[in-house]
Amino acid sequence: MEEKKIVIRKEKEINLKDLTSCEATLQMLKRAKKDGVETQFDRAVNMRACPIGADSACCKHCAMGPCRLNSKDPYGKVGVCGATIDTIMSRNFARMVAAGTACHNDHGMAMLEVFRDVVNGEIKDYKIADTGKLETVAASIGIETEGRSTHDIAIDLYHELKKTYTQVEGEIPFAKRVPEKTLETWRKHGIVPRGAMREIMELMNRSHMGVDQDYKNITKQCSRTALVDGWGGSMVATEIGDILFGTPSPVSIEINMGVLKEDQVNIIVHGHEPNLFESMISSVNEPSLIQAAREAGAKDINLVGMCCSGLEMFSRHGTPHAGNFSSTEPILVTGAVDAMAVDIQCIQQGLVKVAECYGTPLFTTNPRCHIEGATHIEFHERDPKTCTDEIVIKAISRFKNRKIPIEIPQYVSRGVQGFSHEYINYMLGGTFRGSYTPLNDNIINGRIRGVAGVVGCTNPRVKQDWVHVELVKELIKNDVLVIQTGCSQIALAKAGLTTPEAAHLAGPGLREVCETVGMPPILGLGACVDNTRILIACSEMVRTGGLGESIADLPVAGAAPEWMSEKAIAIGQYFVASGVFTVFGVTFPIIEGTKFHKHLFEELEELGFGKWGFTPDPYEMAQLMIAHIDKKRRALGIDRAQDRVLIDMADRQKLDAA
């Protein structure tokens, strides 16, 4: 492959150390700079964010505009149609929620179709790996499982879950899993989702020029749409992924760019759907392909994950992981990647040029995601190996013809990952009495102050991984148990903080619990669709008792400190609508001091939901989250640590006599 060089526009001097706290990525950024190769970090420095767009103070929903309002004087002007700043910002926000929800639902629906074809026998390369999970999920939405065959339960489950997407009236199936009081709040406000297609369609209609022009009414439909993401499409993706490929349980994995091997054929899979990766595992274990790799001079074939599909794979199979979103270009700079195969979501177009520069073949595989300049080899679940075998063959050929000097940053961390909510149940309660009672008890007695979900992307507008790591360190220091998904989980794993030994960084109460159970203070739950595991964990905490009646009563908080995608906004809105205080970093696309801002950041909580928060500073973010957790503890009457009282025989006799 012809090597090309790209000249970076020298508009600004960049101090590379300010861009990332990932040492491996930093090493590759130095090499890229030397080679004159541009990455997202250069582009972010040279592309000043539009201040009006950043505040969402512009509208291009019709050809009377585009209209730009003044962020400094938001009520000084309206659009040509008369739209106010609150209408414009809420419509823009709505379209982000619609797009994010569409992504997760399209992913979930594709997974459900694969499940249907596996059950029908039309897809033969996959099978149901976890029948126990199949039965649990089916029973949770009222499907009879007693004495029935796996096939019959699976057929019913498919038909029931299909309603998540296609139903036009009624409530989505997983509404049955929502705590009663939370569901009551949704019903009162008319936001229980019907089906994803209906909700997304209605939100797009309402955010069109000249339809819904009341920011509070638009917010309602934002919540209804976002809820069909968290409790709908994403939850289906998680549950079907577990049923087909296995429910994760903790596994020790290696993470960071040092997992690449100079003497092996290195293949990276990056994206979000587990199907491609599962088939790639079969292909790299194919004896004829291993033989071909050896004949080409390689010791073996080394399969590595990145981003969220990598998270699904290391949670299920312990597959090594090379890094998060912002490292997907830098890893190509190693020259050691013999093929990168991608499916959907978070695949930057910039990969094409970096791949070209270092002679790495880049393959798109999903009909939804072609990229100009990448080679498309379509992946079909009914014949998956044709695609993945071909990618392996091309990777072997690239290995044989490597021209670029290899430089692999020697950074590898080890961490324990793969804490499904089922495993948390088992870990805390044991095989025969699996339950959330020990978690609730330790929250009530104050050893654990509360639980924080720290999730989401990395974003070159802030120092990569730094906000995630500092925030999480601050939270565990204050006895807050942290649960994680997505690129945030990868940041903490790279920082070496997902081991049981990291308990020494926790406050005394959390440390005691972690040491007793032998668990890390930071639990990685999987990919960004697996935020639904957090929702289920919250529901279980409510059901277990002692911490209030709805998710909004729990001493929990969420954060996406380095978010960047519309999917993150949809996730944030479904956590808020479910009752969770959710803080975002980087930037927030709403002008402070406006009515819409007040609605999202204050009034939603008064209506019985959670609310939004914002700060780019990790320490302030931790304080906001801890203050919220403490507020909830006060409301529950558990704000003072309640140590277990050990009673002696004399006390016991007094009690018996009473």
| Nearest alpha carbon to residue 589 among 609, 606, 614 | 614
62 binds ligand SF4 (CB under 6 A): yes
Per CB under 6 A, contacts with ligand MSK among 78-97 are none
Per CB under 6 A, contacts with ligand MSK among 297-336 are 307-308, 324-325
DSSP-derived 3-state class of residue 522: strand
487 binds ligand MSK (CB under 6 A): yes
Cα dist from 57 to 61, 63, 577, whole Å: 12, 17, 24
- Does an H or E element contain 614, and which? strand 612-614
Beta carbon of residue 220, minimum distance to ligand MSK (angstroms, whole number) = 25
The contact mask relative to ligand MSK for 402-441 (x = CB under 6 A, - = no) is ----------------------------------------
Beta carbon of residue 201, minimum distance to ligand SF4 (angstroms, whole number) = 19
Cα dist from 285 to 252, 291, 391, whole Å: 21, 10, 13
Specify the long-range contacts of residues 625-631, CB closer than 8 Å, at least 24 apart.
625/452, 625/475, 625/480, 625/557, 625/559, 625/581, 625/583, 626/449, 626/450, 626/475, 626/478, 626/480, 628/557, 628/581, 629/449, 629/450, 629/452, 629/480, 629/555, 629/556, 629/557, 630/449, 630/555
Rounded to whole angstroms, the Cα distance separating 653 from 370 reads 76
Beta carbon of residue 307, minimum distance to ligand MSK (angstroms, whole number) = 4
486 binds ligand MSK (CB under 6 A): yes
List the single partner that 325 binds among ligand SF4, ligand MSK, none, CB under 5 to 8 Å by kind: ligand MSK
53 binds ligand SF4 (CB under 6 A): no
Give the interface segment with ligand MSK, choosing from 32-40, 216-224, 560-568, 640-648 (CB under 6 A): 560-568
Query: Longest Cα pair distance anywhere in the chain, in angstroms?
Result: 90
Rounded to whole angstroms, the Cα distance separating 291 from 288 reads 5
List the single partner that 456 binds among ligand SF4, ligand MSK, none, CB under 5 to 8 Å by kind: ligand MSK
247 binds ligand MSK (CB under 6 A): no
Scan for tokens 């993945």, then name that residue.
Answer: 388
Beta carbon of residue 607, minimum distance to ligand MSK (angstroms, whole number) = 28
Q: Which two tokens stand for residue 529?
A: 């669709």
Beta carbon of residue 128, minimum distance to ligand MSK (angstroms, whole number) = 25
List the single partner that 59 binds among ligand MSK, ligand SF4, none, CB under 5 to 8 Å by kind: ligand SF4
346 binds ligand MSK (CB under 6 A): yes
Give the interface segment with ligand MSK, choosing from 67-75, 88-96, 444-452, 564-572 (CB under 6 A): 564-572
456 binds ligand MSK (CB under 6 A): yes
Rounded to whole angstroms, the Cα distance separating 333 from 340 reads 12
List the single partner that 346 binds among ligand SF4, ligand MSK, none, CB under 5 to 8 Å by kind: ligand MSK
105 binds ligand MSK (CB under 6 A): no
Q: 302, 339 in Cβ contact below 8 A?
A: no
453 binds ligand MSK (CB under 6 A): no
CB atoms within 10 A of CB 390: 15
| Nearest alpha carbon to residue 562 among 491, 493, 626, 506 | 491
The gap from C-alpha 315 to its chain's centroid, in whole angstroms, comes to: 13
Per CB under 6 A, contacts with ligand SF4 among 393-412 are none
The contact mask relative to ligand SF4 for 74-113 (x = CB under 6 A, - = no) is -----xxx-x----x-------------------------
First vs last C-alpha separation in the chain = 87
Q: Which two tokens stand for residue 593?
A: 């001091």
Per DSSP bridges, beta strands 251-255 and 612-614 are unpaired
65 binds ligand SF4 (CB under 6 A): yes
Q: Which two tokens stand for residue 344?
A: 């959907």
Per CB under 6 A, contacts with ligand SF4 among 182-211 are 209
Select from 31, 61, 447, 511 the one that contacts ligand SF4 (CB under 6 A). 61
| Residues lying near ligand SF4 in the complex (CB under 6 A) | 59-62, 64-67, 79-81, 83, 88, 209
| Residues lying near ligand MSK in the complex (CB under 6 A) | 272, 307-308, 324-325, 346, 456-457, 486-487, 527-528, 565, 567-568
